[in-house]
Amino acid sequence: DQYNVHPSTMEALQFYEGAQMASSELEKDSIKVTITAFDSSNKNRVGTLLAKPEVASKDILIGEFSNSVLSEALPVVKNNDQNLVLLKAFRSKLLMHYPQVSLAKPSSANQCRLMADYVQDKYKWSDMYIAFQDVKREKDLAAIFTESLDSVQLFSHSEMSGNENLMSSSDEEIKKLFSMMDSTKHNVIFITSSNEPFVNSFLRRLYTKSKWDITIVGLPTWKKFNSIDTEILNHFNLHIFSTDYIDYKDQSVNKFRKAYIAEYKTDPLYEAYEGYFLVHYLANMYHSFGDKYLEFISDRPDKLFTFEAIVEGGGLENSHFSVLSYKNYEFKKVN
């Protein structure tokens, strides 16, 4: 029979399917894992759902919550003395008082810090600049990069003034940026915008006016852009960071992909890989150390998981991420 799956649930479904495949494989190694899916149609009732005995009895919970829901969920999980693995979060400081909670991938803020460290190490003798629009999200990201870089100059696209309908950059602003730069040095420009029309306009004008040596650092969201000339991306040696990069040359990745296609007759999304490898890793840790596995997880890094303490007495965060460089008209992992 054919079942219609709403697009909004496809990612969660594939995560579950990947987790189930991990469970089946682990059972062959005498590691029994029971995967149970819980869902609530009302985000305001997540706390009630987590308090239910059938949920509270689980050894490990894996979930994705908005910040508003997370503030309700964390105290319940702490009261249940459960281990919770969050699939994403913007700031890891949410976990400062919850040692039993961990992040399966770096928080958005920490991704920026890790990227800043990578770029600063790679381009030690370069001048750094940050370009952003005058909107809160972009200014917040610019502030994170600024804190992480030893020396950087900020360049705000002031015309925006919070007006999201004004998306183009002007030649005058590009000239102003050039006046700040040293033409004899390599220059790195971080752009903290996910606004595709603005980024497109900014890069196009920069490309037209500049003959200088410039590397552009963008955001993970740029992988979804489709209007920017690939010649421009290639020219600026674009670097972005990602937590959902899939290395199809990896033997274990290919093995899982073939098995998933054979089982479900479709190509797996990133979430299927995430469910598979995360459950494999956590189950092996739990099998080795029981409910105290978080005390040892930092000493047992995996190629996809390197958990580190956020602060003493707080939760753990996986610091694994990928840096992708656009070379020869395709993204390649460079770290």
Least confident of 62-66, 102-106, 236-240, 318-322: 62-66
The secondary structure element, H or E, covering residue 240 is: strand 239-242
Quote the pTM value. Answer: 0.86
Q: Which of 189, 215, 199, 225 is nearest to 325 (CA)?
A: 215
Residue scoring higher pLDDT (275 or 179): 275
Q: Where are the domains of the chain?
A: 7-106+248-323, 112-242
**Among 7-11, 13-17, 39-43, which stretch is predicted with the lowest mean pLDDT?**
39-43
The CATH fold assigned to 112-242 is Rossmann fold (3.40.50)
* C-alpha to C-alpha distance for 35 and 265, rounded to whole angstroms: 21
Both structure tokens of 140: 């917040």
Task: Return the percentage of the chain with pLDDT > 70, whole number.
Answer: 90
- Which of 48, 42, 49, 93 is CA-nearest to residue 67? 93
SS3 of 6-35: CHHHHHHHHHHHHHHHHHHHHHHCCCCCCC
Look-up of token digits 């030690």:
124
List C-alpha distances in Å: 199 to 168, 202, 237, 254.
8, 5, 15, 35
Assess contact for 49 and 40: CB atoms under 8 A: yes
**Tokens (6 digits) for 331:** 């993204």
The Cα–Cα gap between 138 and 301 comes to 33
Q: How far is CA 186 from the centre of its chain?
A: 28
Report the C-alpha gap between 215 and 239 in whole angstroms.
8
Query: What pLDDT score was predicted for residue 175?
Result: 75
Neighbours of 9 (CB within 10 A): 11
Give 28's contacts (C-beta < 8 A, 6+ positions apart).
none
Residue 219 has pLDDT above 60, yes or no: yes
Average pLDDT over the chain, rounded to an integer: 87
The yes-or-no answer to whether 7-106+248-323 and 112-242 have a common fold is yes
**Taking CA 11 as the corner, what is the angle to CA 10 and CA 12, rounded to the nearest 5 degrees?**
95
pLDDT tens-place string over residues 110-156: 999 999 999 999 998 898 998 888 889 999 999 999 999 887 665 56
Residues 159, 265: Cα–Cα separation, whole Å: 50
Distance between CA 49 and CA 82 in Å, rounded? 14
173-192 pLDDT, tens digit per residue, is 777 777 778 888 899 999 99
Q: Are 166 and 213 in contact (CB under 8 A)?
A: no
Does 299 have pLDDT greater than 70? yes
CA 68 and chain centroid, separation: 19
* Whether pLDDT at 169 is above 60: no
Distances (CA, A) of 309 to 98, 116, 171, 193, 296: 11, 20, 46, 29, 11
Q: Which CATH class is domain 7-106+248-323?
A: alpha beta
Residue 165: band (very low, low, confident or very high) from pLDDT cuts 50, 70, 90:
very low
- The contacts of residue 71 (CB under 8 Å, 6+ apart) are 94
| pLDDT band, residue 171 (cuts 50/70/90) | low
All residues at 6 or more sequence positions from 70 whose CB lies less than 8 Å from its CB, including other chains: 86, 89, 94
